[in-house]
Structure 1
Amino acid sequence: MIELFRNRTFARLFFATVCSQLAATIGMMAFAFYLLDRFSSQPAYATVAEMMYSAPTLLVFLFVGVFADRFDRKRIAENSLWIRAGLSALIVGAIASDVWIPMIFLLLFLRSAVTKFYYPAESAMLQGILHDSQYVRAAGLNQSIMGVFMLFGTGLGALVYHSVGVLGAVTVDLIGFLIGALLLRGLRVPEAVRLPNGRSRLSSLRLPSVWGDFREGLRYILSRKLLASLLAGFILFGLINGCFAMLPMLTMKYKLAGENYPFYVSMFSVFMGVGFLIGSTIGSVLVGKFALHKVIIACMSAAAVCVFGLGWSTSPWAYLTFTFVAALFLAPFNIAIGGWLPKLVAPEKMGRVNAWIDPIMMGGQTLMLGLIAWLFPSLFSVEGLHLFIGALLLVAAAIYLATLPRFVREEEREAASAVAAAPAAAAPAAAAAGSTAVSG
C-alpha cells in the first residue's frame, strides 16, 4: 500500500475522493434520519430520497462514459465537485426555508446526476496512473476505505444530525466537496491519461455520436465473453443494492428496535464496517492465492447464507452478528471484482464500459427502491425482502459458476496461443532481415 501513496497523483486523487464520499455519506444518512423523524408515518419519503441518489443514472447514462473518454477527465472530476458544492448550498437554503419537500428531492436528484460524471472520470484516471500489478491493491485499499465509511459514516451522520441538525450535516457535504475540488485543482495528470483519445470540443458533441459511442461500448463488452459474463451479474447486484440501501433502517425501525432505531442503525454500520475492514485484509490474501472467479463465486454463496440469517433474526444483536459475517465475505468479493475489471478493459474504452455498468446497476436499484416505496409495508415485509436478496445472490453465484470458469479457460488458451505464435512469426522476419543484410 505504501507504494501506492508514493505516487503523489494517486494520493491526491484518492484523498479528494475520500473527502467528498465521506462527507456525502454523513449528509445522506443524516437526511434519512431527518425524514424518518419528521415523516414517521410515511416511510416512503426516506425511500424516495434514496431513489434520488440512483435514479439520475437513467437520465445521464448516455453521456457519462462519452465525457470520460472524449473530454478532460481531470476537469470533469473537479467541476463535478464544484457543482455539487453549489447544489449542497441550495439544499441548505431550501431546508432552512422549509420549502416543499419535492423541491429538496429535485435538488438531490440534480446533485446525484452531477455525481455520476465524477466516478467514470476518476476510475479512468486511476487506470492511467497505476500499473497493472497495482489494480488489485488499489481495489483492496478502496474496499478498506469503504469499510471505514460504513464504520463511521452512519454513526457520524447520526451524531451530526443530533448535534447540529440536518442543516449542519448538509453543510458537511458542502465542505467535503470543496476540499475535494481544491485537491483536484492542483492535481498534475499527464495529458495522455486526461485525454487518451485526443482533444474534443463540447460543440462537436452530437446525439448520434454519443449514441454511437454508447453502442461501441456494448459491442466491446459483447465481443469479450468473460467481460460480458461478469457484467451480467450486475443486473442482479442493482436489485440487491436497492434492497440494502433502506432495508437495515426499515428493519430496525419497524421490526427489531422501535424508537431506538438510530442507535442500532449506527451499530449496523459499525458491524458492517469492521467486517469490511477485516474482510479486506482476508480478501487481499485470498485474491493472491486463488483465482479471482473462485473468490467471487465462493464469497457470494456464503454471503447469501448470511442474508437468510438476517431475515430470520429476532433481535437487533443477532441481526448485527449476521451483518458482520456477511461483510467478511462481501469485502473479498468486491476486491476481486474491482481488481479484475481494469485488467479486462482497455484504458481508452474504460469510460464506455463504465457507461454501461452504472445504468445496469442503478436501473435495478431505482426499480427496487420504487417498489419498496410503493409496497412497503402493505405487501413487502422485511423478512421477505431479506429472503429475496439471498435468493438473488444465489442466482448470481449460479450464473457465474456456469460461465466464468469456462471463459477464463478460453482466455488462457487464447493467451497461450498468442505467446506461442509470436516467436514463430518473429523467426521468418529475422531470417528475411538477415538475407537482406547479406545481399547488401
Structure 2
Amino acid sequence: MFGSLRERNYRYYASGQVVSLTGTWMQRAAQDWLVLTLSGGSPAALGVAVALQFTPTLLLTLWAGVFADRFDKRRILIATQVALGLCGFALGALDLSGFAQLWHVYVLCFVLGCFAAIDAPVRQSFVVEMVGPAQLTNAVALNSMTFNLARIVGPAIAGVSITAVGTGWVFVANGLSSVAVVTGLLMMDPARLHRANGNSAERGRLLAGLRYVRKRPDLVVILALVFCVSTFGMNFESTLAVMARNEFGHNASGYGLLITSLAVGTLSGAALAARRSGKRGGTRVRVMLIGAGVFGALEVLAGMMPTYEFFALALVPVGVAVMTFTTSANSNVQLSVEPTMRGRVMGLYMLLFMGGKPLGGLASGWLAEAFGPRWPILLGGALSLAAAIAGAAVLARRRSGVAEGEQVRLT
C-alpha cells in the first residue's frame, strides 16, 4: 500500500514530517485561539489573521516555482523550514513574556506566510524527485495521511496544552518540531534523487510556464476548480474556531475536537487515495470531480446541523470528500505535466490553492460577523458544488469536441 516508503530519501522526509506537521497544527490551533482571545472573540479579526497568513502566496508562490525548477529543492526546503521554526519561537516568546498584542500576531502571520509561500511549491514538486513518477500518487496520498494524522494529534494536544499551560508553550513546541524535518532533509543522499534534465535557462522562465498551462485546457479547468473549492469551501481555519466558540459556546478543547473530527475524515480519505494510487488518469479525473461535488453537498449539510455533536460528526464525511478531491487534483496536475515544467506548474497550483485564502478568510469573517457563523459554511459548500458541476460540464464538452474532431479527420 505504501510502496513510496521503499525510497530511502523519502523515508527520512516522511519521518521528519510526522513531527513537524504535528507542531504546525498545534500552532495553528493556538494561533486561532490567541487571536480570538486578544480580539474579544471577533470573527473578523480571525479572518484578517488568515488573510495575512495567506496573502504572501499571491506575491511569492509563482516565483518559488521558478526557483524550484532552477535550484536545489532540498537546500531551499532546509532554509524555509528553519525560518518557519524561528517564527514559532518568536510568537512563543512574545506570548510567554506577556507582551503579545493583536498586531504582533498579524505581523508574524504575514512573515510566516512569506516563508510558507516559498516552501509549498518547492515541497510539492520535490516529492517526485524523492520517489520517481511511478510512486508519485502513492507518495502524495501518504503525505496527505501524514498531514491529516498530524491534524488529528496536533489540535488535540494543543487543546489540552492551551488549557494547561497557555498558547505560548504551544508556539515554542512548534519551533522545536521543525528540527525533525530539517534533520531528515540533511540526512538524504542527493545522488538518489530523481532530478529532471533540461535547459536550465528555459526551466527558469516564469512566462514559459504560464504559456504551457494556457495551452492545456484540461489543466486550466482543474486549476480553476481547485481555486473555487479551496477559496470558498475550504475555509476551516476561519470557520471552525468561530463555530466552536460563538455558535456552540465551547472552549479551546471543543475547537480542537472539531479539527480532529475533520481530520479523521481526511485521514480516511487519504488512505482510500493510497489504495487507488494505481488507477488510470481518466479515473483520477472522475474521482476529482466527484470528490469536489460530494464535498460541497456534505459541507452544506454540515452547516445545517443543529447541535455541536451532530456538527462534529458531520465533519468526518466532509473530510473524506475534501481529501479525495485534493489528492486526486494534486496527482492529476503533477503526472500530466513535463518534468522540467513541474515546479512552475505546481507554483501556479499552490497559488490558486492557497492564494484565494485571503479572499476566503475575509469573506468568511464578514459573513460570520454579519449573518452568523453558519453562513460561510453553507455558502462555501454551495459554491464548491456549483464549481464541480461546471468543471464536469466543461471537461465533458471538451472531450466531445475532441472525439468529433477525430471522427471528422478519419472520414
The answer to whether TM tops 0.5 is yes
Write the mapping of 1:28-67 to structure 2, written as runs, cut at 5 A. Answer: 28-67=28-67
CA deviations 1:316-366 (Å, max 9, x no partner) are 111122211222322322332222222111121111112212222333210
Write the mapping of 1:290-305 to structure 2, written as runs, cut at 5 A. Answer: 291-305=283-297
Identical columns (%):
20
Separation (CA, whole Å) in 1 of partners of 2:327 and 2:234 = 21
Mapped pair 1:386 → 2:387: no
Write the mapping of 1:9-158 to structure 2, written as runs, cut at 5 A. Answer: 9-95=9-95, 96-158=97-159
Separation (CA, whole Å) in 1 of partners of 2:240 and 2:196 = 42
Structure-2 change in CA distance of 1:196 and 1:89 (3 Å): farther
Mapped pair 1:181 → 2:171: no
Write the mapping of 1:426-437 to structure 2, written as runs, cut at 5 A. Answer: none
Structure-2 change in CA distance of 1:197 and 1:185 (3 Å): farther
Mapped pair 1:278 → 2:268: yes
Structure-2 change in CA distance of 1:384 and 1:374 (3 Å): closer
Separation (CA, whole Å) in 2 of partners of 1:409 and 1:132 = 29
Q: Which amino acid aligns with 1:279?
A: G
CA contact (8 A) 1:239 1:368 kept: yes
Residue number in structure 1 paired with 2:254: 264
CA deviations 1:355-381 (Å, max 9, x no partner) are 212222333210121233445312x42
CA deviations 1:248-275 (Å, max 9, x no partner) are 22122222x21x2433322222322222
Separation (CA, whole Å) in 2 of partners of 1:16 and 1:408 = 42
Which structure's CA Rg is the greater one?
Answer: 1
Separation (CA, whole Å) in 2 of partners of 1:121 and 1:194 = 13
CA contact (8 A) 1:268 1:320 kept: yes
Q: Shift of the alpha carbon at 1:29?
A: 0.6
CA contact (8 A) 2:294 2:385 kept: no
Q: Which amino acid aligns with 1:384?
A: W
Mapped pair 1:372 → 2:368: no
Q: Which amino acid aligns with 2:390?
A: I
Q: Which moved more, 1:30-39 or 1:223-232?
A: 30-39
CA contact (8 A) 2:300 2:378 kept: yes
Q: Shift of the alpha carbon at 1:148?
A: 1.0
Structure-2 change in CA distance of 1:119 and 1:18 (3 Å): farther
- 3-state SS of the aligned residue for 2:165? helix
CA contact (8 A) 1:284 1:335 kept: no
Residue number in structure 1 paired with 2:409: none
Structure-2 change in CA distance of 1:288 and 1:355 (3 Å): closer
Q: Which amino acid aligns with 1:170?
A: F
Separation (CA, whole Å) in 2 of partners of 1:382 and 1:67 = 40
CA contact (8 A) 1:151 1:274 kept: yes
Separation (CA, whole Å) in 2 of partners of 1:165 and 1:322 = 29
CA contact (8 A) 1:52 1:108 kept: yes
- 3-state SS of the aligned residue for 2:235? helix
Q: Which amino acid aligns with 1:269?
A: I
Counting matched residue pairs gives 403
CA contact (8 A) 1:236 1:392 kept: yes
Structure-2 change in CA distance of 1:2 and 1:353 (3 Å): closer
Q: Which amino acid aligns with 2:55?
A: A
CA contact (8 A) 2:233 2:377 kept: no
Q: TM-score, normalised by structure 2?
A: 0.88
Residue number in structure 1 paired with 2:393: 402
Gaps of 5+ in 2: 407-411
Q: Shift of the alpha carbon at 1:37?
A: 2.9
Q: Shift of the alpha carbon at 1:54?
A: 0.9
Q: Which moved more, 1:49-58 or 1:5-14?
A: 49-58
Mapped pair 1:228 → 2:229: no
- 3-state SS of the aligned residue for 2:34? helix
Q: Which moved more, 1:405-414 or 1:42-51?
A: 405-414
Separation (CA, whole Å) in 2 of partners of 1:193 and 1:288 = 20
Separation (CA, whole Å) in 1 of partners of 2:378 and 2:43 = 21
Q: Shift of the alpha carbon at 1:287?
A: 6.0
CA contact (8 A) 2:368 2:376 kept: no
Separation (CA, whole Å) in 1 of partners of 2:86 and 2:290 = 44
Q: Which amino acid aligns with 1:278?
A: S
Separation (CA, whole Å) in 1 of partners of 2:271 and 2:193 = 33
Q: Which moved more, 1:307-316 or 1:326-335?
A: 326-335
Q: Which amino acid aligns with 1:119?
A: A
Q: TM-score, normalised by structure 1?
A: 0.83
CA contact (8 A) 1:293 1:405 kept: no
Q: Which amino acid aligns with 2:190?
A: V
Write the mapping of 1:165-244 to structure 2, written as runs, cut at 5 A. Answer: 165-190=166-191, 193=194, 196=197, 213-240=205-232, 243-244=235-236
CA contact (8 A) 1:94 1:104 kept: no
Separation (CA, whole Å) in 2 of partners of 1:41 and 1:21 = 27
Gaps of 5+ in 1: 201-208, 416-440
- 3-state SS of the aligned residue for 2:190? coil
Separation (CA, whole Å) in 2 of partners of 1:406 and 1:287 = 27
CA deviations 1:92-141 (Å, max 9, x no partner) are 23332504431332122112211222222222222123233312211221
Separation (CA, whole Å) in 1 of partners of 2:197 and 2:98 = 45
